[in-house]
Each structure stands twice: as structure tokens, then as C-alpha cells.
Structure 1
Amino acid sequence: MLWHTTKSNGQSASLWKPLFMLLTIFATPLTYAANAEAARVLELSDRFLEVYNQGQWLVMFYAPWCGYCKRTEPIFGQVAQELHGLNIRVGKVDCTRFTNVAREMQIRAYPTIMFLKGNAKYVYNGDRTKEDLVDYALRMSGPPVQMVTRPESIDMLKGSHTIFFMYVGDQQGVMWESYYAAAENYQQYGFFYATTPDIASQHFEFEHLPAVLVYKEELHHLYPYAHVAHEMDVSAINDTIHHWVNVERFTTFPKITRFNIKQILLTKKFLVVAVVEEDKLNQVATHELEFRDMVEGVIRKHRDRYHDTFQFAWMGDPSLAHSFILDTLPTPHLIVINSTTEQHYIPDDEPLKMTPQAIHVFLESIHNESATPLGGDTYLVRIRRVFFEAKKGLLDMWKGNPVLTTVIFGLPCGFLSLILYSIFCGDCFVANDEDDDHEKTE
């Protein structure tokens, strides 16, 4: 019987062996591909403090328990793959193990992504997508202004960049110095180039030199004061070129996220936002998509009319808009935010019944100050915002994990109830006991 069992096991093993070999053959490429991404990201220790100023680094400072870190980690692995072969080293630091590194780099939140070049440190504030992170690393690895020496290079730039800035003319004088200073200031957020008039004239139209232009969405727009910069005050040129770059570094109708909203608010414009709701697959319902496209059509057809005062955009996360207006509205809806005063405006018309003409009337009422502003940044509004955010946070916790929320808030409330009960009701029991003793004595 023992011999028979052993033989059966041997036959079973011989049958399973080819299957295991097949699984190994098919699984190996998948395992290799998964490990290849992680292999590109260097796991750094506290010795990083001795070498971080040598060369160029793109580093993610994380904590193992951080959910955002876990979601960013595979994206960061793809970024490392994309940057492989360049002079940019990609690494990550566990700040719970190497607290001295976190303290030296002044890490306040997880994950923090930072580009290190020599002794300079730049914190990344954009969206955590592979494309945005790769563009950021490429921008920061080079000089603030890169030279274009061949006409075909501009075609390549148009194909690879949604937005870029270009200086045309002699690289000297007030305009060049101001452009270079703006490039240094905004290098984290955009690509800046310079070329000769001969090369630029094959791709762009300009009448005067020097010229400064921005290329975005297959169109180019000129900085209006470049050719008269030598006649203007230096501080005025610096202020206007910085403001122009700050405004033009966004597309005509960008998507607002929790990562870029602070930067968009720095335009100091009225922010016209079409608020829709994306699902987990980033899909938008048809009627909401039509509303968003209608709002986008207004700015694309009337850019000259609105561009100086209004920045159009859209949101796929309604909770961001609700944090501004301190209320919840069904999607889709339209809000206008004054980025200077933090006041907002909501149209009286029902969003789905709005037309481009209704939007024109609404925006004109804001521009001539006849519309009634709501909210703001007063102390009363700040207090309301605190309560609103606390309420929203509790609701999000309950929706995400009602059991955990009950435990977190139920146990303290239970203990507090027992303490209060013992304090106030305990005296009642003592008083009753004393009354009973007194009656017995009588």
C-alpha cells in the first residue's frame, strides 16, 4: 500500500511538472517587467545626505503607511524607466526609517517629490502623472533657457510640448535679461527656449525684434512689449514679463486638480469653472460633457474678449468646488472664483439650460461689478469653512469605512459618557443612600 501511494504521488508530480514549467515561462516576463520598474528607483538611506549635491536627483520622500505614496509608487517607477540613460538619478527615501533625511530636507507631507541639482532644492507641485513628472525632470535638468539651432527642432518642440516660450533676437539687453529671469523663476512650470530670427521666421509670425512668444495648442501669442523694452523702465519690463508668463503658462481650458489649483489661482484672474463629475475611470456623463464643451467653446471663440480678465477651466472633482462655495451643488454647474478675494459667483440660470449668450451676460455682470459676490476670506467665512471641511471629512470617512469611523468616534464618546455618568449620577446615588440611612436612623 505504501509503495502504491508513492507511485501515485510520483505520477502526479510528473503530470504537474510541465504545468509548473509553462506557468514559469509565462510568468517570468511579467515578473521581470514589474521588477524592472522598481529596479530603476534607488532605495536611498541616510548616506544620501552625503551625496545629494553631487549630480541631479529626482527623489520621492515617502512613508510606508501613506496611501497617496502607495498610489504614486508605480507611477514613479515608470518615470524612472523613462529617465533611464539620462544624467538624472531617481530614488526614494523612507522617512520613517531615516528621519534625519526628512528633517534635513524639511519634509512636511507625504509624498514629497523633489528635484535636487547641486545645492538647489525644488519641490514638485504638479499632477502626479508619468508625463508631468518626466517633463518636470527634463525641464529642471537643463538650463533655464535652452538654445534652438535648427529649424526642424521647432517642429519637434511643437510635437512634444503643449506649451513652450520662445525668445527671438540677440541674446543681450534688457528684454533678454528679463526673459532669462522669468525663465529661472518659472522653470518648474514651463519650457523656455531662444533662437535666431532666421529660424523663428520659418514657424512664427512677428514684426519686430526682439520678440517673445508663447506657443500653445497650435497657436502662438506675442508678448506685447518686447520690441519697446529698451524704452521702458527695467522694473516695469520685469513685472510685465513675469505676469505674462505666469498667465500664459496654462492652456486655454485646463483641468483643475488639487495639485495645480493653487498655481492657477496665482493668475489673479476670475476663474470660470465648469464643474462635472468623473467616475473612477475618468469618464463623464454625456449631458455633463456637453455642458463642459459648451463652456469651453465660449473661451475658444472669444479668447480676445475674455483672456485678459478670465481664466476658463473645468473640474472633474466637485468636492474641490464645494470647498470654495461651502455648499454642495448637483453637477454640472458653473462657478466663477475671484482668485484675489476668494469670493465666488453662481449664475441664477439652471446650468443645463444655459446657453453661450447666457454665459456672456453672466460674465459681463461680473466684469462690471453688478453681480453679487458670495463668500470671501472674512473671519466668519473661515469659521464656516472649518466646520464645512470637518463635516465633509467625517462624511467621507463614514462612506469609506463606516465600521472604522464608528470605532474611532464611538469609543471616545462611550468613555466620555461613562465619565460624565459617574460624575453627575454618582452624586445622586450617594445622596439617595444618605437619605435611606437617615430614614433608618429615625
Structure 2
Amino acid sequence: MQSPAHRSSHICSSGIWSVATVCLCLKVFNFCAFLVQGFGVSHPYPWQGIVEVLLEVRLILDFFYFKGAYFNFWKTLNWLEGIASEFGVRGYPTIKLLKGDLAYNYRGPRTKDDIIEFANRVAGPLIRPLPSQHMFEHVQKRHRVLFVYVGGESPLKEKYIEVASELIVYTYFFSASEDVLPEYVTLPELPAVVVFKDGTYFVYDEYEDGDLSSWINRERFQGYLNVDGFTLYELGDTGKLVAIAVIDDKNSSLEHTRLKSIIQEVARDYRDHFHRDFQFGHMDGNDYINSLLMDDLTIPTIVVLNTSNQQYFLPDRHIENTEDMVQFINSILDGTAEAQGGDGVLQRIKRIIYDAKSTVVSVFKSSPLLGCFLFGLPLGVISIMCYGICTADTDGGVDEHETAKKENSDRELTDEGSEEEQEEEKNENYTELSDGDLKQKDLSEKKKD
């Protein structure tokens, strides 16, 4: 009997060209991942995305297999539309975890560790209890952001459980009694929801922070982040502006380290002023940010992104210190800073042109011969067709003109010939008449004689 890992390897190697949907079920953890690969996606080749994800799925299979889990791994070819409709699949490839009547989407990095961590987090209980201080310290060391409900049964706990069922895909949720918390934690009242991060803690206040779900969604990130594409995608749900120092991590020059330090200082020292509206971090390299902004930013630099409407802000002068950065942020908040980009019609047209240009350039960079074939062959065929059409029209027009001219000449010659024939007939008739008159005249003269 084939092992589950061997079966997954068989699908990856022999079925990859025809697989439309792949379903992975881990029965012990009640974990199902639907990897749906369609055509016309953003990959240069239609099978590239599913190959990458299936390789990670095989690693996950191996991981759980060695832990003694039982698997059932199969592929489907005929019910893609039914799967997509049933589970609301709109993007490709998609990973979903089914738990009871709920289906959770995985939106993190496509790596083995991240997918396994997602499976363990969502498959477990929504609220994990912390019965002792030792357990609390152990969990706090493992998680950079820790949400804890403190207290007994209350409407706040019911709301906390409701929010946890929605946001468990992003972070863990815990509960504890007050005596389990560290001694430095002081709560104004019970029950309470506390978040531990950045070496300190913050207590949820319904009057100041608003809805609990919105507060947790904002606070589930550290004050300062190493920003990448997946992080920016998740930050879009928070409604915050993202202030990023775009630097080269491998470059240890003063300018690169200075901008990074400025962002870190603002995130730490001005949290009370800006944490509701801004998220701070740095990004390594400018390739992703250039493609996002359709611009060419020179690193090191600072850019502030509005992920909700795709606008961005650039400082109008060089950022020398923390005060300059604070002044730049305040100018954004009061509306005096100039916003660039956006999601208007012109920007969408620009995006289409930019994406097309980027695709062509990337194809030629990766494989010049393939690029020449993909783009040269259609252009050559179209050019030949256009040349043939234009040439055929020109020759046809000349031939028609010459034919019409020839017909007109023939008609003129025919008309001239007809006139000459008529004159000859008239002359002949006149001659015949003249001969007849002469004969009659001779006869009359003879009679007189």
C-alpha cells in the first residue's frame, strides 16, 4: 500500500499537467486545503502556481505523516465549478481549512512552516486557557503578539469568542485569571481584554477604542514590522496608513541605518499619537514597492502607503531626524501633503500598461528566445497580413482604373467607327440617288428627241 506522501508525490509528478483542483484532507486535525489552479492567472506559465503550492503540500504531508496522522489525498477534475461555488473560491491557488460549518481562508506565505502553524492554530480551540504563570510565560515567549481575556463569564467574553472565531486565521486567543498575569500588569477593571506586545501591554477600552473586532484587528501587529507583500495585504484590513523605510538590509551605510532608526523611534516614542492611524516598518529592496506604485524609488527613502485607495505620499524634503518624520506624518494627517497614485480611471489604465510592459520585460529577461517566439511570431503574422491587405487594395485599385480607362477608349473608338459608317452609307445613298437622277434625265431627253 502506498504511503500518503508517496501518493502526493505521484500527483505532483504525473498529474500536474491536468489537475484542476486538488483537495488535501488531514483527518486527525480536520484540515482540508483546496488548491485550485486556473488559467489566465498572474504566473508566466499556467501551472507554475500550483506546482509551487503542491511542493509545500507535499512537505506538509510528510510532516504530519511522521507524526502518525492519517491522510486522504486525492485530485478531482470534473467538479471544479462546484467546489469553487460551494466554498467561495475566487483566487488561485486557494488554501482553505474546514472546521465544522466554517471555512477559513489561508492568506499567509506559501511555506511549510506558515501553513502548518495556520493548521494547528485554526484546528485547535478558539480560546486557549492559561492555567498558570509558567504557562503564561511560555506562551508569551512563543508569540510576539498575545491577546488575553481576563475575568469570568460576561458579555465581553461572548464578544471576545465571536471575534476569535473570525480572526483566528491571523492570531491566537487566550484566557486567564488575574493571578496568572505578571505582577507589573495593572487592570483598571474586570473583565478586560489585554494585548501583550512590544515589551509592554495595552488594555482594551470600549469608549476610546470602539468595536472590539476593529481594535484586535489593528493591534494584532507589532508597532514596527519587517514589511513584505503578504504583510501589506493583511495591513489593508486595518485601515491604517503604512509608513515604510525602503532600504537595503545588506547595506550597512549610515543613510540606510539612519532611516530605519528614525521609523523605529517614531513607532516607539509616538505610539499614543499615531498608532490608531499608522503602522510603521521597513522593506528590504525597492522591487516590490516600485511595482506597487508604478514608480522608480531610489533607496534609501521613506514612503507612506494608503492601502485602502492605493495612494502614497513621499516627503518633499530630506528626512534628517525624528522631528522631520513627525512633521511629515502630521502634514499627511492635516491634508497638506500631496497624495500621489490612487485608484481612478487614469491610474487603472496606467496599471494595465505598466503590467503589460513588466510582463514583456520579465519574459525577455528570463528567456530571450522564448520572448522572441511569443511576441515575434504574432507580430510577424499580423505584419504580413496587414501588408497583404494593403498591397491587395492598391493593385486592385490600379487594375480597376486601367480597365475602366480601356473600356472608355473602346467606347470612343466604337462611337467613331459608327459615325464613319453612317457617313459612308449617306455617301453611297447620295451616289445611288445621283445615278438614278441621271438615268431619269437621260430617259426624258431621249423621249423628247
TM-score by length of 2: 0.75
Q: Secondary structure at the residue paired with 1:327?
A: coil
What residue in structure 1 maps to residue 104 of structure 2? Answer: 122
Q: Secondary structure at the residue paired with 1:254?
A: strand
What residue in structure 2 maps to residue 193 of structure 1? Answer: 174
Identify the match of residue 371 of structure 1 among 337, 354, 359. Answer: 337
Q: Which moved more, 1:79-88 or 1:45-54?
A: 45-54
Measured in 2, the distance between the counterparts of 1:380 and 1:107 equals: 30
Measured in 2, the distance between the counterparts of 1:345 and 1:47 equals: 41
What residue in structure 2 maps to residue 284 of structure 1? Answer: 250
Identify the match of residue 360 of structure 1 among 320, 323, 326. Answer: 326
Taking a change above 3 Å as real, the CA distance of residues 196 and 254 of structure 1, as seen in their structure-2 partners, is same
* Contact 2:245 2:283 survives alignment (8 Å): yes
Aligned-CA RMSD value: 3.7
Taking a change above 3 Å as real, the CA distance of residues 121 and 344 of structure 1, as seen in their structure-2 partners, is same
Taking a change above 3 Å as real, the CA distance of residues 348 and 154 of structure 1, as seen in their structure-2 partners, is same
Q: Does 1:313 align with 2:281?
A: yes
Q: CA deviation at 1:163?
A: 1.5
Measured in 2, the distance between the counterparts of 1:255 and 1:50 equals: 32
* Contact 2:147 2:194 survives alignment (8 Å): yes
Q: Which moved more, 1:292-301 or 1:174-183?
A: 292-301
Deviations 1:371-420 (A, max 9, x none): 12222222222222222222222222222222222211211111111111
Q: Which moved more, 1:66-75 or 1:268-277?
A: 66-75
Q: CA deviation at 1:168?
A: 0.5
Measured in 2, the distance between the counterparts of 1:39 and 1:56 equals: 21
* Contact 1:59 1:92 survives alignment (8 Å): no
* Contact 2:23 2:74 survives alignment (8 Å): no
Deviations 1:10-44 (A, max 9, x none): xxxxxxxxxxxxxxxxxxxxxxxxx9994596978
* Number of residues of Structure 1 aligned to a counterpart in Structure 2: 390
**One-letter code aligned to 2:200:** L
Measured in 2, the distance between the counterparts of 1:36 and 1:410 equals: 47
What residue in structure 2 maps to residue 178 of structure 1? Answer: 159
Identify the match of residue 270 of structure 1 among 224, 241, 246. Answer: 241
Q: CA deviation at 1:52?
A: 8.5
Identify the match of residue 400 of structure 1 among 361, 366, 385. Answer: 366
Measured in 1, the distance between the counterparts of 2:25 and 2:308 equals: 42
What residue in structure 1 maps to residue 214 of structure 2? Answer: 243
Larger radius of gyration: 2
Taking a change above 3 Å as real, the CA distance of residues 332 and 397 of structure 1, as seen in their structure-2 partners, is farther
Q: Does 1:256 align with 2:230?
A: no
Measured in 2, the distance between the counterparts of 1:105 and 1:319 equals: 34
What residue in structure 1 maps to residue 392 of structure 2? Answer: 426
Taking a change above 3 Å as real, the CA distance of residues 402 and 221 of structure 1, as seen in their structure-2 partners, is same
Measured in 2, the distance between the counterparts of 1:296 and 1:374 equals: 25
Q: Which moved more, 1:86-95 or 1:178-187?
A: 86-95
Taking a change above 3 Å as real, the CA distance of residues 42 and 99 of structure 1, as seen in their structure-2 partners, is farther
* Contact 1:112 1:123 survives alignment (8 Å): yes
Measured in 2, the distance between the counterparts of 1:186 and 1:36 equals: 35
Taking a change above 3 Å as real, the CA distance of residues 213 and 82 of structure 1, as seen in their structure-2 partners, is farther
Q: Which moved more, 1:375-384 or 1:414-423?
A: 375-384
Measured in 2, the distance between the counterparts of 1:417 and 1:46 equals: 37
What residue in structure 2 maps to residue 228 of structure 1? Answer: none
Measured in 1, the distance between the counterparts of 2:148 and 2:126 equals: 12
What residue in structure 2 maps to residue 136 of structure 1? Answer: 118
Taking a change above 3 Å as real, the CA distance of residues 340 and 294 of structure 1, as seen in their structure-2 partners, is same
Q: Does 1:219 align with 2:193?
A: no
Q: Which structure 2 residues correspond to residues 1-80 of structure 1 after superposition, within 5 A?
A: 38-39=5-6, 56-59=30-33, 61=35, 66-80=47-61
Taking a change above 3 Å as real, the CA distance of residues 256 and 312 of structure 1, as seen in their structure-2 partners, is same
Measured in 2, the distance between the counterparts of 1:293 and 1:38 equals: 46
Q: CA deviation at 1:197?
A: 1.2
**One-letter code aligned to 2:109:** D
Measured in 1, the distance between the counterparts of 2:58 and 2:348 equals: 40
**One-letter code aligned to 1:269:** K
What residue in structure 2 maps to residue 9 of structure 1? Answer: none
Q: CA deviation at 1:111?
A: 2.8
* Contact 1:43 1:93 survives alignment (8 Å): no
* Contact 1:59 1:90 survives alignment (8 Å): no
**One-letter code aligned to 2:359:** G
Task: Could you tell me which runs of 5 or more consecutive residues in structure 2 were left unpaired when the two chains were aligned.
Answer: 12-18, 38-44, 410-449
* Contact 1:83 1:134 survives alignment (8 Å): no
Measured in 2, the distance between the counterparts of 1:109 and 1:373 equals: 30
What residue in structure 2 maps to residue 18 of structure 1? Answer: none
Taking a change above 3 Å as real, the CA distance of residues 286 and 269 of structure 1, as seen in their structure-2 partners, is same
Measured in 2, the distance between the counterparts of 1:304 and 1:404 equals: 55
